[in-house]
Amino acid sequence: MKLGWGDGGVQVKDYVFHRDLTKTYPIITHGKGVYLYGEDGKRYLDGCSGAVAANLGHGDKRIAEAMALQAEKAAFVHTMRFETPVLHKLAEKIGKLAPGSLNRVYFTCGGSEANESAIKLSRQYFRNRGEPEKQVVIGRWLSYHGNTIGSLSAGGDIKRRQPYNGYLLPFQHVSAPHCLHCPFNREESDCETKKDWSCVAELERLILEIGPSQVSAFIAEPFTGSQAGAVPPPKSYFREVRALCDRYDVLLIIDEVMTGFCRTGAHFAIEHYGVEPDIITFGKGVSGGYSALGGMIVHDKIIDTLLQYGDGKFVHGYTYSGHPVTVAAGLAAMDIYESEHILRNVKGLEGHLFEGLDNLRKKYPFVYDIRGKGLFFGIELASNQDGQPFPPDLRIAERLNEKAMELGAVFYPGNGTVNGYAGDHLIIAPPLIISEREVDELISLLDDALKDLADSLKE
Ligand code: PLP
């Protein structure tokens, strides 16, 4: 088998355990700004920042140099014995960005580890308070929190959970608010005006059924991301959830792995809803995808409890927690978020991107819905005007993305399943440094891919 990695075409065996062993993937040699370049010279507009991670685009020398400099100074110290200036600087920047009393920052190597850490910390918090039986985590269907056993148990991604059913922790799940396909057949405006929320009531019922003395945390993505396709919650949902968590002394963990760091037009998406969680987890955008970095920002009340009622030790940790080189990438990324006024760019282009996508909705009847905020949008594809999903074996979202890649753009396809609903969607989430002209190019490439899909559906 020929491996195309720019080695002069030497015939070699394939040593890579690919994510899908039946596939071959284009080899990318470099990137610049919003574009990635294949070794065959092909250019791709990165319409989803990889996995909604490369927020600052590709090939930014400032981040690369900061990492190289740190590697040369001290590539690794063990945080059980030593710390580094970059660790303190980055923690301070993130702690200051976070809402209210969330100040202390714990670093991991990505989003799954971040959520794993938050799950364990919520347990330790209650153990230190003398309530060891408070340990059940409630998550939501249609949510994704990572692939480690704890985070997978908290998540509600049926397809990813199913093969590991025997391994999963006995966590519980409620419906995510997806008003377009409300599992309770409610109208969003009804829930808002009557303050009568079926999905919040479901959460309360479950807490009471398990027993509030057993429940440690409720974990939720602020926008249901990869499973539902960038679905924002109804405006007051998180306020209602916060009140419930307070009533039953349950920690609220908000998973900002996909939405953090300006993606939705706020530093953290939860800011749109005026709610202060107990733990925010993050990943992806914190380093703009330049290094494997994630973590959690923790409320002072949890830190105080560990110090006052415990021995101040969080019984957890990774060799690479706070790795100096990955943290240096995060620090350089934070500088760029600030100096390049990334938040301003996101807010400035939100309307333009939405308008472009909405025009596509008007043009193609199978584009059923456009939703999102900032530079984080989902396109839902349906087989008729009532939102009837396409049969899963048609692989509509995957096919659309394959066509887009052929044409020179890449998006993030998905197909979530819950309450009998299975829908195809595409996440549109370009690097936050994108320009207006590049947004137009993105829309035009997506238009061409949709046109091809429209033609193939006629056949
Ligand atoms: N949480 C959310 C909301 C995510 O979207 C993801 C990844 O897509 C994760 C957690 C897991 O992060 P990672 O893949 O870095 O472990």
The pLDDT of residue 172: 98
Last residue of a domain, one of 322, 339, 356: 339
Assigned token pair, 225: 């991301």
Out of 144, 221, 326, 425, mutate this one to test ligand 1's pocket (max ligand atoms within 8 Å of CB): namely: 144
Domain that holds residue 33: 28-56+342-458
Unique residue bearing structure tokens 């998406």 = 269
Same domain, 314 and 427: no
Same domain, 365 and 454: yes
The pLDDT of residue 69: 98
Check whether 326 has a pLDDT greater than 70. Answer: yes
Nearest CA to ligand 1 atom 12: 111
Listed as own residue / partner, the contacts of 203-211 with beta carbons closer than 8 Å and 24 or more positions apart are 203/138, 203/174, 203/241, 203/244, 204/244, 204/248, 206/138, 206/172, 206/174, 207/138, 207/244, 207/248, 207/250, 210/136, 210/138, 210/172
Same domain, 191 and 175: yes
Nearest CA to ligand 1 atom 7: 146
d(CA 32, CA 44): 10
The pLDDT of residue 294: 98
Same domain, 190 and 281: yes
ipTM over 0.85: yes
Check whether 374 has a pLDDT greater than 80. Answer: yes
Distance 19 CA to ligand 1 centre (A): 16
Atom of ligand 1 nearest to the CA of 292: 15
- In a domain, residue 9? The reply is no
- Alpha-carbon separation of residue 56 from 60, 222, 369, 433 (angstroms): 8, 21, 27, 6
CATH number of the domain encompassing residue 452: 3.90.1150.10
The finding on whether 51 has its CB within 6 A of some atom of ligand 1 is yes
d(CA 426, CA 428): 6
The finding on whether 296 has its CB within 6 A of some atom of ligand 1 is no
d(CA 274, CA 309): 30
pTM of the complete model: 0.96
CATH number of the domain encompassing residue 112: 3.40.640.10
The candidate with the shortest Cα–Cα distance to 288, out of 260, 269, 265, 256, is 260
Same domain, 274 and 327: yes
- In a domain, residue 402? The reply is yes
Same domain, 113 and 258: yes
Check whether 192 has a pLDDT greater than 70. Answer: yes
d(CA 354, CA 373): 8
- In a domain, residue 446? The reply is yes
- In a domain, residue 7? The reply is no
d(CA 338, CA 330): 12
CA 290-296-299 angle, 5° bins: 150
Check whether 3 has a pLDDT greater than 70. Answer: no
The pLDDT of residue 7: 53
Out of 49, 112, 140, 268, mutate this one to test ligand 1's pocket (max ligand atoms within 8 Å of CB): namely: 112
The pLDDT of residue 189: 83
Same domain, 329 and 431: no
The finding on whether 255 has its CB within 6 A of some atom of ligand 1 is yes
Same domain, 330 and 360: no
The finding on whether 150 has its CB within 6 A of some atom of ligand 1 is no
Check whether 165 has a pLDDT greater than 70. Answer: yes
Out of 257, 258, 264, mutate this one to test ligand 1's pocket (max ligand atoms within 8 Å of CB): namely: 257
Check whether 417 has a pLDDT greater than 50. Answer: yes
- In a domain, residue 4? The reply is no
Kindly indicate the confidence band of residue 1, based on its pLDDT and cuts at 50, 70 and 90.
Answer: very low
- Find the mean pLDDT for residues 124-146: 97
Assigned token pair, 401: 């993305």
Is residue 152 classed exposed, middle or buried when 0-12, 13-18 and 19+ CB atoms within 10 A define those classes? buried
424: enclosing H helix or E strand: strand 421-428
The pLDDT of residue 422: 65
Q: Which of 47-51, 301-305, 385-389, 407-411 shows the lowest per-residue confidence on average (mean pLDDT)?
A: 385-389
Last residue of a domain, one of 290, 322, 339: 339
Question: Total structural domains in the chain?
Answer: 2
The finding on whether 112 has its CB within 6 A of some atom of ligand 1 is yes
The pLDDT of residue 224: 93
Within 13 Å and on the Cβ side, how many CA atoms surround 131? 17
Distance 230 CA to ligand 1 centre (A): 14
- In a domain, residue 2? The reply is no
Q: What is the pLDDT of residues 200-215, one digit of tens each?
A: 999 999 999 999 999 9
Same domain, 129 and 150: yes
Atom of ligand 1 nearest to the CA of 259: 3
Atom of ligand 1 nearest to the CA of 226: 5
The pLDDT of residue 5: 52
Same domain, 435 and 361: yes
Same domain, 242 and 368: no
- Find the mean pLDDT for residues 82-104: 98
Same domain, 119 and 186: yes
Distance 195 CA to ligand 1 centre (A): 32
Last residue of a domain, one of 304, 339, 374: 339
Within 13 Å and on the Cβ side, how many CA atoms surround 444? 8
